[in-house]
Every structure is written in structure tokens, then in C-alpha cells.
Amino acid sequence: MTKSRDLGNLAQTVAVNLPTSLGTAGQTLVVNSGADGLEFGAASGGSGVTTYTGKSGTDGTPAGATYIDNASNPSEGDLAYDLAADQLYIRTTSAWKRVSIGVDESPIITTEPPTSHVLNQDGSTSTVTMVATDPEGFGITYGIAYPTANNALPDQLETATSINQSTGVFTFDPSTTEADAGTVKVRLSASDGISTTTRFCTLTLLFSVDITTPNSAPFKQAGTNTADTTFSSATGSTGMGFSSELSTGKKYFEVVNAINNGYGVVGLCDNAVTSQGYNQSGFQGINNSNSHIYPGNTDIGFASGTWNQSGDVLMIAYDTSTREVWFGIDGTWYEDPATTSSSYLVGSSSTTSFKMAFGSSIGGGSAYDNSYNIITGSQTLNYSVPSGFSAH
């Protein structure tokens, strides 16, 4: 009886006298040693395609079964036939690759992964799920690739990504080193052994540190990401209140007016000082009455009263390595920290870290109360973090 079979990438379709029945596991398909054009016989080196019960499994289960993945010492170019799935495999240097027969269809993503994912800053793991199916019914193998030399683990990850091959769940173990903060775009893949479908996901690692204020004058109470101040005298030469030490590096945070009775001054100073006035060297800040920079009462182009209403946002970016500080109000920078050096330096040449300083530009016996909400990376910022900086 004459039959034809499409051998895909290995050969063109040919008409031959095929065996009238399939061989058994471990036999080789050989050419015309009998009446038929092709027949199954005992395996011998280089003699053709070795048949197996299936691709993977335990040899001898069921009785007599053999599996391609268990082949002993396969050589590059060896051919293996999966009787259960009716598929042909070829051996590469280190793996069996399925030979496409006809037009191979790529895996279809049925559960799309997110395009971005924020890693946990406390070092706990988090997951992303991508599920795929193969139109031809073959199993899916998931993988991940990094944009690094030799696919090395990026700084943002502490250990290799764990992939559940049954569920398509990728588990990320983030670094807990602040210097590793940043983003990395990874490629998730789903392969059926021939074709691969990919998706990209940008992983972000941010470290946010709360800014606290003490329960001592001029603060009315202790605060975490808040500052509740009261002043009865001006603090031009001394008397400012301080926050906790700020994180070093290039950081960004926001100060939002909550309660404003006018004349509050907010900025940065050297973390080492124990006394500071807003008109003294080493301090750099904004007066919320006229939106001028102190010391010096310098008009930097913001209209008077720009930052004195409830909800107004003071934007602060700084770089402890250069001592620079940048100010902006309600989305507008005086000098853009992403592209421009700052005209204002905090502290002195020996300064290595900063803290916030709060004061008042008016006194005279009356109490002037100002309350501020401090927005760090653990909250929702009103404006984008400048390029090259990270949220405090």
C-alpha cells in the first residue's frame, strides 16, 4: 500500500511503501531492507530515527516504555520519534528540539503579564503571572531573560527568578541594598519547543524612608511624614526645628501645605548642626509667604503666595554628594534637577547628609502655626520623580 508523509524541515514529501504498522519503542525506522520502502528494525548507530514511547517519563512505566529525554549519550544530529504525540525531534548540542511539520503555530498568551511591576522594598518576594497555551497541544516551557551580559542577574534582584512551569508564575526576590534601586526591563518567554512568544515587564525597585519630626518645640507633636509647628518668634538666626536625618544620594520628596497661618519657612540644612536660622549660611529653603529662597530673600520667579494655600506642593530634590538642592512649586521647577545644576548648596564642604529644617519668618509674640504633610516614596507623589533621582 502506498502512503505519503510530510517530513517537514527534514525532507520534502515523498511517496514510499511505508510499513503497514507502527514499530515498537526503541526500534529504528530504516530504509528498504525488506519488501516495504521503509520498515522498523533494531536500532543501530546512525541508521535512522529511533522511536520512543513519548518525550518524557520513567523508562519501564508502563512496561517496555522508553522516553526521548532518557536517551543514553545522544549525539548532535540524532533523530528521535515520539510515538504518543506523533512528533519528530532532533538532538542539538545539549537538548532535543522538536522538528516543525508544516506550519508551526506559536504559543498563545492567555493570561497577560503586567507591563510593569514594583518589587517589594522590604525584601519579600512578589510574583508576576504569564500563562500560555500551544495551539498544537504541546507543553509550554517558561523562561526569563535579562538585558545583561551573559544574562547575569540584574542588581535589582537578590537571587535567580523562580518559575513555576505548571502555573506560569514568576517569583522575584528583590535586593535589599539601597544602592541597587532602579528599573530593569526583563523578557518573559513561553516556548513550545519550536516557537517562542515573549512579553516584556519592567521591574522597579524603590526604597522609601519615612521622615519623622520629634515631640519637642517647635513641633506640637511627634510626626511621621508630617510636621506640625508653632512659632511665637522669628527664626532668622536660630530656633528652627529639625526632622530625622534624610537618606543620602539623589532623592526627591514633596511638602504639602496642610494648615498655613503664614510665614512658614521649610528647607534643608546640614544634619550635623544643632542650631540653625533660615537667614544663616548652610540653610536653603522656601518662605511660604512670598515663595522666596532663604537665606537672602531671593526672588526665584514664583509669584508671591504661590506656596501658601492648603494643598500647595513644594517639590524638593537633592544630591548629598554635591550638596545641591532644587526647589519647585506645584509642578514647576525653578531649575530642573534632571538637566540643570543647582544654584543652591546645603551646608558646608564637610557636609555629608541633610535634614529638614522648619522655621518662621515672623514673630512678635503671636503664635503662628503651620502644618505640613511630607510625601515620600511610600505614598503617592503628586509629581514625577526627576530622572536620575529616586523617591525618598
Do 225 and 362 fall into the same domain?
yes
pLDDT for res 28:
54
Do 115 and 64 fall into the same domain?
no
Do 169 and 33 fall into the same domain?
no
pLDDT for res 206:
81
Do 265 and 342 fall into the same domain?
yes
Q: Decide which of 205, 224, 255 is a domain's last residue.
A: 205
pLDDT for res 342:
97
Do 185 and 132 fall into the same domain?
yes
* pLDDT score of 103 more than 70: no
Q: What is the bridge-based pairing of β-strands 284-287 and 293-294?
A: antiparallel
The dihedrals phi and psi of 373, each to the nearest 5 degrees, come to -100, 130
Do 231 and 313 fall into the same domain?
yes
Domain annotation covers residue 282: yes
CB neighbour list of residue 243: distance below 8 Å, 6 or more residues apart: 211, 212, 213, 227, 355, 356, 357, 358, 374
Average pLDDT over residues 309-323: 95
Q: Decide which of 144, 172, 205 is a domain's last residue.
A: 205
Do 160 and 287 fall into the same domain?
no
Do 218 and 195 fall into the same domain?
no
**CATH number of the domain that residue 370 is part of:** 2.60.120.920
Domain annotation covers residue 103: no
User: Does 65 or 378 have the greater pLDDT score?
Assistant: 65
Do 296 and 191 fall into the same domain?
no
Do 292 and 151 fall into the same domain?
no
Domain count, the chain: 3
* pLDDT score of 283 more than 50: yes
Average pLDDT over residues 260-279: 93
Q: How does pLDDT run across 166-213, given as a tens digit for each residue?
A: 999 999 999 988 788 889 999 999 999 889 999 999 999 988 889 999
Count of beta carbons in the 10 Å neighbourhood of residue 82: 19
Q: Decide which of 139, 170, 205 is a domain's last residue.
A: 205
Domain annotation covers residue 143: yes
Do 184 and 48 fall into the same domain?
no
For residue 365, the enclosing domain spans: 212-391
pTM for this prediction: 0.57
Q: How does pLDDT run across 329-347, given as a tens digit for each residue?
A: 999 999 999 999 999 999 9
Place of cell 536625618: 245
